[in-house]
Amino acid sequence: MPAGRPLSNLQLELLKLYSSDISEADLLHIKHYLARYFAFKAIGDADKVWDEKGYTDETMDQWLNEDEAPYGNKDSD
């Protein structure tokens, strides 16, 4: 992060958390929960795009069976 740039709200909250002495096990649990949160958020965003574009299971099958799949971007020629 460049010097002079303020910390994000997430960074500030994590600093508060890390200022206390927590166990390694608790730290691993927190990392796990954060990873799950961002994974579910990404899945939700991907589902939204999937629905907006009208993709289907057949779309995915087609992509998986192409040699160089453009992953739905027909303008990528």
Domain ranges of the chain: 22-71
CA 49, 53, 56, 61 dihedral sign is negative
**Any residues with CB less than 8 A from the CB of 30 and at least 6 apart, and which?**
17, 22
The model's pTM is 0.56
Asked if residues 74 and 68 have their Cβ atoms less than 8 Å apart, the reply is no
pLDDT tens for each residue of 22-73: 888 988 998 899 999 999 999 999 999 999 999 999 998 998 888 765 566 5
